[in-house]
A and B are shown apart, each in its own frame.
Chain A
Amino acid sequence: MTGWTRRQFGYLAGAMSIGALRPLAARGQAKAQVIVIGGGVGGATAAKYLALGSEALDVTLVEPKTRYTTCFFSNLYLAGLRSLESLTHGYETLAQRYGVKVIHDSVTTIDPVAKNVSLEGGAKLSYDRVVLAPGIAFKAGAIDGYDAAAIEIMPHAWTAGSQTSLLRRQLESMEDGGVFVLVAPPDPFRCPPGPYERASLIAYYFKQYKPRAKILILDAKDTFFAQDVFEDGWSRHYRGMIEWLPGQFTGGIKALDVKGRLIKTVGDTFKADVANVIPAQEAGRLAHQTHLVDQSGWCPIDPMTFESKLQPGIHIIGDAAKAGNMAKSAFASNSQAKVCAFAILAALTGSERFAPHLFNTCFTLLAPDDAVTSAISYGAEPETIKVNDFFLSKVGDKAETRRAAAREANGWYAAFTHDIFG
Chain B
Amino acid sequence: MPGGSTAVPATAGHRHTALSLHLIIALSMVASLVVSVAEHSFAADNDQGAQLAATCAACHRLDGRDKGIPSIVGLSEEQFATAMRAYKSGERSGPIMQTMARSLSNEEIQILARYFAARGKETQRQ
**A residues whose Cβ falls under 8 Å from a Cβ of B:** 1, 3-4, 7-8, 10-12, 14-16, 19-20, 49, 51-55, 93, 97-98, 331, 334-335, 338, 342, 345, 349, 351-352, 354, 357, 359, 361, 373, 375-377, 388-391, 393, 407-408, 410-412, 414-419, 421-422
Contacts and interface: CB of A to CB of B under 8 A. Distances in A.
B2 A422 contact: yes
B48 A354 contact: yes
Given A11-B36, A408-B69, A416-B59, A357 B103 contact: yes
B97 to A, nearest CB: 8
B1 A93 contact: yes
B98 A391 contact: yes
Nearest to A353: B51
Interface residues of B, number: 50
Given A389-B102, A418-B3, A422-B2, A361 B58 contact: yes
A359 B100 contact: yes
B96 to A, nearest CB: 4
Contacts of B61: 414-415, 418-419
Contacts of B122: 8
Instruction: Please indicate which of the listed interface residues B60, B96, B114 has the most CB atoms of chain A within 10 Å of its own CB.
Output: B96
A4 B37 contact: no
B75 interface: no
Nearest to B70: A411
Interface string B72-85: 00000000000000
Contact of B58 (A51, A331, A354, A408): A331
A44 B73 CA distance: 23
Contact of A49 (B54, B60, B103): B54
Given A4-B121, A357-B52, A391-B96, A97 B6 contact: yes
Contacts of B44: 10, 52-55
A11 B40 contact: yes
A175 B70 CA distance: 43
A373 B96 contact: yes
Nearest to B117: A4
Given A373-B95, A419-B58, A345 B46 contact: yes
Contacts of A334: 58
Contact of B51 (A14, A342, A407, A417): A342
A411 B103 contact: no
A377 B103 CA distance: 6
Interface of A is mostly: helix
A7 B55 contact: no
Contact of B36 (A14, A52, A54, A331): A14
Given A10-B44, A19-B33, 16 more contacts: A11-B37, A14-B36, A14-B40, A15-B37, A19-B36, A52-B43, A52-B44, A53-B50, A54-B44, A55-B43, A55-B44, A373-B96, A377-B103, A418-B63, A419-B58, A422-B3
B32 interface: yes
Contacts of B67: 410-411, 414-415
Given A11-B36, A359-B103, A412-B69, A19 B118 contact: no
B57 interface: yes
A411 B70 CA distance: 9
Nearest to A392: B95
A391 B95 CA distance: 7
A73 B102 CA distance: 28
A135 B43 CA distance: 27
B58 A359 contact: yes
A9 to B, nearest CB: 11
B46 A342 contact: yes
Given A12-B37, A97-B2, A389 B58 contact: no
A3 B6 contact: no
B95 A411 contact: no
Instruction: Please indicate which of the listed interface residues A93, A334, A373, A414 has the most CB atoms of chain B within 10 Å of its own CB.
Output: A414
A411 B68 CA distance: 4
Interface string B108-126: 0000001101100110000
Nearest to B111: A3
B42 A52 contact: yes
Interface string B16-47: 00000000000001001101110111111111
A373 to B, nearest CB: 6
Contacts of A389: 99, 102-103
B99 A377 contact: yes
Nearest to B40: A11
Instruction: Please indicate which of the listed interface residues B42, B54, B57 has the most CB atoms of chain A within 10 Å of its own CB.
Output: B54
27 contacts: A4-B118, A7-B47, A8-B118, A11-B40, A14-B40, A15-B33, A15-B37, A15-B40, A19-B32, A20-B32, A20-B35, A54-B46, A93-B2, A97-B2, A345-B46, A352-B48, A375-B99, A390-B99, A391-B95, A391-B96, A391-B99, A410-B67, A414-B68, A415-B58, A415-B60, A415-B67, A418-B1
Contacts of A8: 37, 118, 122
